[in-house]
Structure formats: structure tokens, C-alpha cells
Amino acid sequence: MINPRNHKWFFEATTAVEGHVHAIVRTIVSAQTKFQQMEILDTASYGKCLVLDGRIQSSQADEFIYHEALVHPGLPALDAEPNRALVIGGGEGATLREVLKCPTITRAVMVDIDDEVVALCREHLPEMHRGAFDDPRAELRHEDARAYLERTDERFDLIVVDLVEPLEEGPACMLFTGEFYMLVRERLSPKGVMTMQAGMTKVGELSFFTAVHRTLEQVFPIVAGYQAFVSCFGVPWGFILASKGIDPRQQTAQTIDRLCARRITGPVEYWGGAAHLHSFNLPKFISEAVRQQDRLITDKHPLVVS
């Protein structure tokens, strides 16, 4: 039983039989957009949190862990200085913020279908985007990311996929299929890199991570899963890097530190050589689950997270 102690509580169901509880100081925003239920909650432990369809996406206190782990492994995995980047999703603007820390990036396109979420994050979460939307190198588009990739002929050195998991069958499902990843591959430069969030990596909840990993292996020559513990999620979180060139698992801590120092300006609180080695050295049970997974995600057979 929870002792209320004069708090209201937000309960996030992390699985069908588990959850994580946060004390709420106040509700800043509660809105139903065209695509999802959105809340911005001020919590006692983590400050402001972005919540979409009942699931925390990031928190003011520890979003740097998630967003640095999502973006920064891709920068040293490029064999040349990157110039163009694409962010798919990333409503609160923090992913775009981390991409723009690379001084050689001259163009960063962010495609998020939900303009209402982005507008409310822009207004209420300046701690997260930190002015990234106003950077002259940034272009913000509100449309379906798959349609955008199908239409554009632009090539990107880095593509970062920061999407919520598909909680129900709908448009989001089409952004986690082999056909979509083939489109991403085609829009990358010759030795480009994609990084993405890939769900939980906790015991008993590996099906999403491993199915995405297995699907990507059919599309890219190099696929490397990694993880970080994001405290506000209450579980370890998985990410995947897919590359046309460099294998991040073969890079040394010294190489990562040297390349990050050159390709990332501004504060870096989490990512570096030591974190890189730790994150890409997956525990045996995760590596074994990836090896045993035979599920391929396709347009005809999309994956829906329960």
C-alpha cells in the first residue's frame, strides 16, 4: 500500500504486472492531441516529466542520460565529420539539442508528426530543448516521418529515431518495420549511422528490443545494441546503433573520448569512453535473447507493444 503523505501519485505501468510510482507536485499540462494523450507533470523526485499515453518519455532531472545515450554513440561511429542530421520524433527538443552540439552539423531536420506536443514542450519545457528549436541550423517539420523519407532525396550522415513504442496498431507501427529501416538506410550517406531507442532491457521484457534488433540485422551490415539505466523509467533501457561503416563495439575508450571531444561541444554529463564500453557490453542474457529471436517486423506483420 502507498502512504499518500499529502501527495497525488502518478502510476506508470511498465509491464502488465509491474509499475513505477511518482509523487506529483502539480500538473502543468494535460491535453489530448490528434495523436496521443499528453501530460507535463512536475514530480517531487525528477522535476518536470513529459508523459505520452501514460508513459514517461523524459524527466528534467535525468533526461541527459537518455538523450546523450541516444545521440552521442552515433557521432564517433562516423568516419568523417558529420554535416547533416535527421531526428525522427523527439517532441521535447532534447534530441535535437544534443545533435546540434556537434559543431560541424550545418543542417538538422526534426520530423515530429504531433505539432501540439512540440508546441507545448516548447512552451513548458525550456529546460529540455534549451533553445534548440530556434537554432538557425534546425528545420522543424510536422508530418509523417515515413512519408517524408519516401519523398525526400536528401542524404543524412546521422539519423536519430526517438519514437514512442507502438502501443496500438496505427501509423507508429509503420516506423518499426524492416521496410521502414530499409528506407532509413537509403537516406543515409554512404557510411552513415542510425541510432534509436529500443525499449526496455529488463528480465522478462526483451521481446521488443530483440525483435527490432533482429529486424535491423536484415537491413544493416552492423547492428549493435546497448543500454543505459534511466532512473525515472525505473528500468534499464535499450538502444540500437545501425551502421554502414564503423562498428562501435570495436572502438576503444580512448578513441571515443577523442572523437567526442572533437564532435561534441557544450556540457556532456553522461557519455564518454567508459560509458561507451559499459553500454555496448551487454549482459549475457540479453545477447542470448537477441541471438534466439527469430521475429522479423514487417509492414504486413507489425509489432505492437502491450
Q: Percentages helix, strand, coil for the chain, rounded to the nearest 5?
A: 35, 30, 35
Strand order in the sheet with 47-52: 8-13, 19-32, 37-43, 47-52, 55-59
Query: Scanning the structure block, which residue is given the C-alpha cell 562498428?
Result: 247
Of the candidates 195, 209, 201, the residue with the CA atom closest to the CA atom of residue 271? 195
Burial degree of 3 (CB within 10 A; 0-12, 13-18, 19+): exposed
Of the candidates 105, 90, 187, 92, the residue with the CA atom closest to the CA atom of residue 148? 187
Catalytic residue among 114, 162, 257, 294: 162
| CA–CA gap between residue 87 and residue 139 (Å, rounded) | 10
H or E segment and range at residue 63 = helix 63-71
Helices (H) and strands (E) in the chain, counts: 10, 12
| CA–CA gap between residue 31 and residue 117 (Å, rounded) | 9
- 162 a catalytic residue: yes
Burial profile 29-63: b = 16 or more Cβ within 10 angstroms, e = fewer: beeebebbebbbbebeebbbbbbbeebbbbbbbbb
Dihedral over Cα of 130, 133, 135, 139: its sign: positive
What is the set of active-site residues?
162
